Structure 1
Amino acid sequence: MVGLNKNIMRTILILSYIMLVALIISGVSALFSYLNTGADRSTMLHTEIQKVEQYLPKLEWEPLQNEGRPMDKQTLNALQNNYLDAWYVKQIAYKTNKTAGIKDYYTDSARENLYAFIELNKAEDITIEATTLNHKPTLEFFSEDGQLAVLTDRHVVEYKRVFKAEKQILETTETSTYKIVFLLEDGFWRIRHLVKESSTPFEAQTTKIKTDSLTIKGINYYPKATPWNMFGDAFSKDTIANDFKIIKDAGLNSVRIFVQYDDFGKADVDSKKLEKLKQTLDAAEENKLKVVVTLFDFYGDYSVMNWTLNQRHAETIIKAVKDHNALLAWDIKNEPNLDFESRGKDRVIAWLDKMIDLVKSIDTEHPVTIGWSNTQSAPILKDKVDMVSFHYYEGLENLELAINTLKTKIPNKPIVLQEFGISSYSGFWKPFGSSVEDQANYHKKIQEIIAANKLQFMSWTLYDFVDVPKAVVGSRPWRRNTQKHFGFIDKNGTKKASFKYITN
Structure 2
Amino acid sequence: MLRIFLIMSYILVISVITFLISSLFTYLNTGADRSKILHLEVKKEVQYLPKLTWAENGNEGREMDDQVLNSIENDYLDAWYVKNVAFRNNDITGIEDFYTESARVNLYDNIDKNKLDSLTIESTTFKHKPDILFFSEDGQLIVLEDKKVIEYKKFYKKDELVFETTEENSYKVILLLEDGFWRIRHMVKQSSKPVTPIMKNVPMNFTMKGINYYPKDTPWDMFGDDFKLRTIKKDFKIIRKAGLNSIRIFIPYEDFGSAVVLPEKLEKLRKVLDAAEKNELKVVVTLFDFYGNYDILDWTLNQRHLETIVNTFKDHNAILAWDLKNEPNLDFDQRGKENVISWLEQMLILVKSIDKNHAVTVGWSNTESAHILSDQLDFVSFHYYEDKANFEDDYLVLKKQIPNKELVLGEFGISSYSGLWKPFIGSPEKQATYHQEMQKVLNKNNISFLSWTLYDFESVPSEVVGKLPWRVNPQKEFGFIDIKGNKKPSFKHISK
TM-score (norm 2): 0.96
The amino acid across from 1:288 in the alignment is E
1:442 is matched with which residue? 434
Deviation at 1:405, TM superposition (A): 1.8
1:152 aligned onto 2:149: no
Q: SS in structure 1 opposite 2:340? A: helix
1:370 is matched with which residue? 362
1:268 aligned onto 2:260: yes
- 1:16 and 1:435 mapped to 2: Cα distance? 78
- 1:184 and 1:427 mapped to 2: Cα distance? 69
Deviation at 1:89, TM superposition (A): 0.7
Deviation at 1:19, TM superposition (A): 3.6
Give the 3 Å change call, closer, same or farther, for CA 270–337 of structure 1 in structure 2.
Answer: same
1:22 aligned onto 2:14: no
The amino acid across from 2:118 in the alignment is D
1:329 is matched with which residue? 321
Which deviations, in whole Å up to 9, do the C-alpha atoms of 1:356-415 show, x marking residues without a partner?
Answer: 111111212111110000111111111221111000000122212221222122212211
1:39 is matched with which residue? 36
2:242 is matched with which residue? 250
- 1:264 and 1:251 mapped to 2: Cα distance? 31
Q: SS in structure 1 opposite 2:149? A: strand
TM-score (norm 1): 0.95
Does the aligned pair in 1 maintain the 2:53–2:128 contact within 8 Å?
yes
Q: SS in structure 2 opposite 1:35? A: coil
2:287 is matched with which residue? 295
1:133 aligned onto 2:126: yes
The amino acid across from 2:134 in the alignment is F
1:455 is matched with which residue? 447
Among 10, 16, 19, the residue aligned to 2:7: 10
What is the percent sequence identity of the aligned residues? 56
- 1:476 and 1:430 mapped to 2: Cα distance? 12
Give the 3 Å change call, closer, same or farther, for CA 247–61 of structure 1 in structure 2.
Answer: same
- 1:153 and 1:380 mapped to 2: Cα distance? 35
Give the 3 Å change call, closer, same or farther, for CA 442–36 of structure 1 in structure 2.
Answer: closer
- 2:312 and 2:39 mapped to 1: Cα distance? 33
1:122 aligned onto 2:115: yes
Give the 3 Å change call, closer, same or farther, for CA 452–40 of structure 1 in structure 2.
Answer: farther
Does the aligned pair in 2 maintain the 1:205–1:361 contact within 8 Å?
no
Q: SS in structure 1 opposite 2:34? A: coil
- 1:271 and 1:31 mapped to 2: Cα distance? 46
Give the 3 Å change call, closer, same or farther, for CA 284–41 of structure 1 in structure 2.
Answer: farther
Structure 1 segments (4+ residues) deviating >4 Å? 40-44
Does the aligned pair in 1 maintain the 2:147–2:169 contact within 8 Å?
yes
Give the 3 Å change call, closer, same or farther, for CA 315–24 of structure 1 in structure 2.
Answer: farther
- 1:55 and 1:349 mapped to 2: Cα distance? 21
1:74 aligned onto 2:71: no
Moved more, 343-352 or 180-189: 180-189
Among 440, 460, 474, the residue aligned to 1:468: 460
The amino acid across from 1:26 in the alignment is S
Matches within 5 A, 1:53-452: 53-211=46-204, 213-452=205-444
Q: SS in structure 2 opposite 1:183? A: strand
Give the 3 Å change call, closer, same or farther, for CA 198–335 of structure 1 in structure 2.
Answer: same
Give the 3 Å change call, closer, same or farther, for CA 146–407 of structure 1 in structure 2.
Answer: same
Does the aligned pair in 2 maintain the 1:216–1:458 contact within 8 Å?
yes
Deviation at 1:320, TM superposition (A): 2.0
Q: Size of the alignment, in residue pairs?
A: 496
Q: SS in structure 1 opposite 2:243? A: coil
Give the 3 Å change call, closer, same or farther, for CA 41–406 of structure 1 in structure 2.
Answer: farther
Which deviations, in whole Å up to 9, do the C-alpha atoms of 1:164-197 show, x marking residues without a partner?
Answer: 1111111111111111111222232111111111
The amino acid across from 2:389 in the alignment is E
- 2:253 and 2:17 mapped to 1: Cα distance? 51
- 1:428 and 1:397 mapped to 2: Cα distance? 26
Structure 1 stretches lacking a partner, 5+ long: none
Does the aligned pair in 2 maintain the 1:60–1:137 contact within 8 Å?
yes
Q: SS in structure 2 opposite 1:13? A: helix
Deviation at 1:205, TM superposition (A): 4.3
Deviation at 1:18, TM superposition (A): 2.2
Does the aligned pair in 2 maintain the 1:244–1:284 contact within 8 Å?
yes
Give the 3 Å change call, closer, same or farther, for CA 77–64 of structure 1 in structure 2.
Answer: farther
Deviation at 1:37, TM superposition (A): 3.3
The amino acid across from 1:155 in the alignment is K
Does the aligned pair in 1 maintain the 2:169–2:189 contact within 8 Å?
yes
- 1:236 and 1:150 mapped to 2: Cα distance? 54
Does the aligned pair in 2 maintain the 1:311–1:355 contact within 8 Å?
yes
CA RMSD in angstroms, aligned pairs only: 1.7
Does the aligned pair in 2 maintain the 1:462–1:489 contact within 8 Å?
yes
The amino acid across from 1:149 in the alignment is I
Give the 3 Å change call, closer, same or farther, for CA 389–28 of structure 1 in structure 2.
Answer: farther
Deviation at 1:42, TM superposition (A): 5.6
